[in-house]
Amino acid sequence: MMRVVIATVLVSLAGIAFTHAGSLALHQPDHPAQHQDQLSEQEESAGLSDEAKEAQGQLLVKDYCVACHSLPLPLLHSASLWPSVVKRMKHHMVEAGKPVPTPEETSAIIDYLQESARH
Protein backbone atom coordinates (compact mmCIF):
# COMPACT_ATOMS: atom_id res chain seq x y z
CA MET A 1 0.00 0.00 0.00
CA MET A 2 2.84 2.40 0.84
CA ARG A 3 4.41 1.75 -2.56
CA VAL A 4 1.17 2.73 -4.28
CA VAL A 5 0.97 5.98 -2.28
CA ILE A 6 4.61 6.83 -3.01
CA ALA A 7 4.22 6.01 -6.71
CA THR A 8 1.09 8.16 -6.92
CA VAL A 9 2.85 11.06 -5.23
CA LEU A 10 5.88 10.76 -7.49
CA VAL A 11 3.75 10.75 -10.62
CA SER A 12 1.83 13.78 -9.35
CA LEU A 13 5.05 15.59 -8.47
CA ALA A 14 6.40 15.00 -11.93
CA GLY A 15 3.26 16.66 -13.27
CA ILE A 16 2.47 13.87 -15.68
CA ALA A 17 -0.14 11.20 -15.91
CA PHE A 18 -0.84 8.40 -18.31
CA THR A 19 -3.89 8.87 -20.50
CA HIS A 20 -6.12 5.94 -21.36
CA ALA A 21 -4.20 5.57 -24.63
CA GLY A 22 -1.00 5.06 -22.64
CA SER A 23 0.69 8.25 -23.80
CA LEU A 24 2.02 10.92 -21.48
CA ALA A 25 0.02 14.07 -20.88
CA LEU A 26 0.62 17.09 -18.68
CA HIS A 27 -1.44 16.84 -15.53
CA GLN A 28 -3.79 19.73 -14.92
CA PRO A 29 -4.88 19.87 -11.27
CA ASP A 30 -8.59 19.64 -10.62
CA HIS A 31 -10.42 22.28 -8.65
CA PRO A 32 -11.76 21.00 -5.32
CA ALA A 33 -15.34 21.80 -6.35
CA GLN A 34 -15.13 19.21 -9.14
CA HIS A 35 -14.98 16.41 -6.58
CA GLN A 36 -17.44 17.89 -4.10
CA ASP A 37 -20.33 15.63 -5.14
CA GLN A 38 -18.12 12.55 -4.91
CA LEU A 39 -16.82 13.60 -1.50
CA SER A 40 -20.33 14.41 -0.22
CA GLU A 41 -21.46 10.92 -1.16
CA GLN A 42 -18.46 9.45 0.65
CA GLU A 43 -19.07 11.58 3.74
CA GLU A 44 -22.72 10.48 3.84
CA SER A 45 -21.62 6.85 3.87
CA ALA A 46 -21.42 6.05 7.58
CA GLY A 47 -18.92 3.21 7.42
CA LEU A 48 -16.11 4.19 5.06
CA SER A 49 -13.41 1.57 4.73
CA ASP A 50 -9.83 2.51 5.54
CA GLU A 51 -9.04 2.43 1.81
CA ALA A 52 -11.94 4.79 1.04
CA LYS A 53 -10.84 7.19 3.77
CA GLU A 54 -7.27 7.13 2.46
CA ALA A 55 -8.47 7.72 -1.11
CA GLN A 56 -10.63 10.62 0.06
CA GLY A 57 -7.74 12.21 1.96
CA GLN A 58 -5.38 11.71 -0.98
CA LEU A 59 -7.89 13.30 -3.37
CA LEU A 60 -8.36 16.28 -1.06
CA VAL A 61 -4.60 16.78 -0.68
CA LYS A 62 -4.24 16.73 -4.45
CA ASP A 63 -7.14 19.13 -5.00
CA TYR A 64 -6.28 21.70 -2.35
CA CYS A 65 -2.51 21.62 -2.05
CA VAL A 66 -1.58 21.81 -5.72
CA ALA A 67 -3.55 25.03 -6.05
CA CYS A 68 -0.49 26.80 -4.59
CA HIS A 69 2.48 24.40 -4.72
CA SER A 70 3.53 20.92 -5.78
CA LEU A 71 1.98 17.96 -4.09
CA PRO A 72 3.49 17.45 -0.62
CA LEU A 73 5.17 14.17 0.16
CA PRO A 74 3.60 12.84 3.37
CA LEU A 75 7.08 11.65 4.38
CA LEU A 76 8.31 15.26 4.59
CA HIS A 77 7.04 15.56 8.16
CA SER A 78 6.33 13.34 11.12
CA ALA A 79 2.73 12.43 11.86
CA SER A 80 2.70 14.75 14.89
CA LEU A 81 3.79 17.75 12.80
CA TRP A 82 1.22 17.51 9.99
CA PRO A 83 -1.70 19.16 11.88
CA SER A 84 0.32 22.37 12.42
CA VAL A 85 1.52 22.33 8.80
CA VAL A 86 -2.07 21.99 7.53
CA LYS A 87 -3.22 24.78 9.85
CA ARG A 88 -0.46 27.05 8.53
CA MET A 89 -1.29 26.20 4.91
CA LYS A 90 -4.99 26.94 5.49
CA HIS A 91 -3.99 30.37 6.79
CA HIS A 92 -1.97 30.98 3.60
CA MET A 93 -4.94 29.82 1.50
CA VAL A 94 -7.22 32.35 3.17
CA GLU A 95 -4.67 35.11 2.58
CA ALA A 96 -4.36 34.12 -1.09
CA GLY A 97 -8.13 33.94 -1.58
CA LYS A 98 -8.01 30.22 -2.42
CA PRO A 99 -10.75 27.71 -1.54
CA VAL A 100 -10.21 26.38 2.00
CA PRO A 101 -11.12 22.84 3.08
CA THR A 102 -14.05 22.42 5.44
CA PRO A 103 -13.34 21.09 8.95
CA GLU A 104 -14.35 17.58 7.79
CA GLU A 105 -12.09 17.82 4.73
CA THR A 106 -9.26 19.14 6.90
CA SER A 107 -9.64 16.15 9.19
CA ALA A 108 -9.50 13.77 6.20
CA ILE A 109 -6.41 15.57 4.86
CA ILE A 110 -4.61 15.36 8.20
CA ASP A 111 -5.58 11.70 8.66
CA TYR A 112 -4.17 10.83 5.22
CA LEU A 113 -0.94 12.78 5.75
CA GLN A 114 -0.42 11.32 9.22
CA GLU A 115 -1.09 7.78 8.07
CA SER A 116 1.45 8.15 5.27
CA ALA A 117 3.94 10.22 7.28
CA ARG A 118 7.31 9.09 8.54
CA HIS A 119 7.00 7.53 11.96
Contacts of 54 (CB under 8 A, 6+ apart): 5, 112, 115
For 34, the domain range is: 2-116
Residue 42 has pLDDT above 80, yes or no: no
Mean pLDDT of the chain: 73
Which among 35, 29, 30 is positioned nearest to 16, based on CA atoms?
A: 29
Question: What is the percent of the chain with per-residue pLDDT over 90, rounded to a whole number?
Answer: 48
Number of folded domains that form the chain: 1
16-30 pLDDT, tens digit each = 332 233 333 333 344
Looking at residue 77, the DSSP 8-state letter turns out to be S
Cα(53)–Cα(7) distance, integer angstroms: 18
pLDDT at 14: 39
